[in-house]
Amino acid sequence: MIAQNPYELFRQECQTAIAGALKKTLPDIEQPTISLKKTPNIDYGQLASSLCFELAKKLGVKPLALAQNLVASVDKSRFDLIEKVEPAGAGYINFYVDFAKFSALTLKSIRKLDKEYGFVKTEVPKKVIVEHTSVNPLHPIHIGQARNPMLGDALARILQCRGHSVSRHYYIDDVGRQSSVVAYGYAKLGKPKPTEKSDLFVGKIYTVTSCIVEINRLKRLREKACISENADDLIKINKELDEWVSIAAELQEKFPVLFMALTAKIGEDENPEEEINRLNRAYEDGQPAAKELIREVSDLCLDGFRATMKRVGVTYDSWDWESDFVWTPQVNEVMTKLQATPFIFNEKGVLQFDADKATKTLDLKGKLGLSANNEVPPLTLVRADGTTLYTTRDIAYTIWKFKHAEKVINVIGMEQSLAQLQLKLALYAMGYAENADNLVHFAYNLVTLPGYKMSSRRGHYITFDEVLDEAVNRAYQEVCKRSPMLSEEEKRNIANFVGLGAVRYALVDVDSGKPVVFTWERVLNFETNSAPYVQYTHARACSILRKAEREAENPDFALLSERLEKELILNLAGFADMFIEATEYLKPNMIADYANVLADKFNTFYNAIPVLKADSQGLIDARIALTKAIQVVMRNTLNLVGVTAPERM
């Protein structure tokens, strides 16, 4: 017999056993739902039911007495995997698996299914869009933003393995003042060709242009404040201006040629701020010259993003331009539909969506987990100058996504939780309730670097590329130390997949709701809880299999009687359960946690129990089969989070 989920077969037998015992001893009661939990200690069996506690209350009997009666009624001869059943504690029913049969089932299934083992397919496959990364095309992806594509790609991988049809989308936020700022600076320089990686090149132009334009704007405001003799405004403006002048000094020192060139060119315009606003309006209106300029500089930045993402094995099926939804009727259609609802009001010429009124009128607070006194702020839809805001355009984009998918997962930082809630409420208000029900905001927390404060205004950020370079360099030093006999090419190759894998794993293995504290001591720890540790363990299993120089021809699985062996088999058998839970609850960190636990158990086994020098050929073959199964499952687990599973390190 081959099973995608061996633990589920055992669970089904246990449920059937209890159901049969209930029918025998209590034929007149309605069959209850029978749930089973894995025991924390193999000495108490492998599955346990607390059914008797709830049932005893209804029947007016003691739970332990009921458990004893039910256990006595179980006919073990009808089942293949149940070795024994015992009452326990104050009324639990504990099931013990027949390890010889369970080991054979699990290890043979892994051997046969190989790369497909554990990936139980859903009964209801869906078309799913995972929108992730979506960094504005203004500067390189930095380490603070890099958690997004690592989580998004892991989600897409696990959903695909679950049997869903997954499409990975990148939303290009090219509409708005920021895009116009960088395009303005780029045009002032005469649209130069990049002399370095294109996103780094664009980022420098954006940072310097922003600084020069902001100083110009504040100086104009200061003049007005002086004329109006508004002392409070003047103090506030001077304080802000001092900060920007300080930033300018830093940027001039870092990028002297670029700073001087942009200062001279921008100085030719009487009011740079107005020029940027004019470009912004022209782009939103779809004027050809503005379209050509902003698309050109955005594409330069995106080329850099693509190169970075290719390096870590992240791909996209669709690049969706925000401007495409502005230039077509889609955003206007959203506005028309929203204005037909009772939730729109006009405040000083600015259209707003009354999100809180929508939650009350449509009775959504309970459904969305909002407390009754939680007041949702209104959403501004259109500025006074007629230009739309990001979330307004995002509503149109979301409706478009649901034309191509049944479920949409937006991987967006938790600081955008309010905007994502308002977006969902707008969908409900417009009558897209089914879409709103299937819209998921996968929120994640920040990445922090101890001792380093990032500031995009000052150009203070550590790019993702820099982090990857440093990871590979550090991995190379470690490989040279551990394996000096390898060729230079082998060392470089190993350092590359170890370094890249270390960063990917570190950005995924923390629960998404918690911040990632990024330290090299944790990221590149070869001793525990890191990609290098799991990769090294996988390579160790491969090394044993190479030394064996044979398949496990006649394994005697009954000989796998050591406690460590049993724990490993249970762990392998439970891979599918973990995978299903990680996918259904969107918990990619569970995958990384599982990989680490499996690596821990295998390393303990490796250090304590001989594989190739066991007492008999049957036991040697059984342990080879166990090692092979561990190698397969560890590889499958690493693949889910986009980390290479090496055969040698």
Per-residue model confidence as pLDDT tens digits over 527-558: 888 999 999 999 999 999 999 988 888 899 99
The tokens for 75 are 């006919």
- Between 3.30.200.20, 1.10.238.10, 3.40.50.620, 3.40.50.1980, what CATH number should domain 127-171+320-448 receive? 3.40.50.620
Residue where the block lists tokens 């246990």: 14
- SS (HEC) of 547-589: HHCCCCCCCCHHHCCCHHHHHHHHHHHCHHHHHHHHHHCCCHH
CB 642 within 8 A of CB 157: yes
Angstrom CA distances, 274 to 266, 269, 278, 299, stand at 12, 9, 6, 25
pLDDT of residue 7: 97
Per-residue model confidence as pLDDT tens digits over 245-285: 999 999 999 999 999 999 999 999 999 999 999 999 999 99
Alpha-carbon Rg of the chain, whole angstroms? 30
CB 406 within 8 A of CB 128: yes
48 phi, psi to nearest 5 deg: -140, 145
Architecture per CATH, domain 504-640, reads as Orthogonal Bundle (1.10)
Angstrom CA distances, 254 to 258, 266, 607, stand at 9, 19, 53
Q: Do 6-97 and 127-171+320-448 share a fold? A: no
Longest dimension (CA), the chain: 97
Per-residue model confidence as pLDDT tens digits over 61-79: 999 999 999 999 998 889 9
Instruction: Identify the segments of the chain with pLDDT beneath 70.
Output: 454-458
CA atoms within 13 A on the CB side of 312: 33
Strands 127-131 and 165-172, sheet pairing: parallel
Per-residue model confidence as pLDDT tens digits over 30-55: 889 999 999 999 999 999 999 999 99
pLDDT of residue 228: 78
pLDDT of residue 551: 84
Domain 6-97 has CATH 2.60.120.10: no
CB 141 within 8 A of CB 41: no
Please tell me the distance from the alpha carbon of residue 281 to that of residue 266, in angstroms, as a whole number. Answer: 19
pLDDT of residue 153: 98
The tokens for 141 are 């992806």
List own/partner pairs for 482-485 with CB under 8 A and 24 or more apart: 482/526, 482/649, 483/649
The pTM of this model reads 0.93
Other beta carbons within 10 angstroms of residue 25's beta carbon come to 13
Nearest Cα to 412, choosing from 33, 131, 57? Answer: 131
For the chain, what are the domain ranges?
Answer: 6-97, 127-171+320-448, 177-314, 504-640
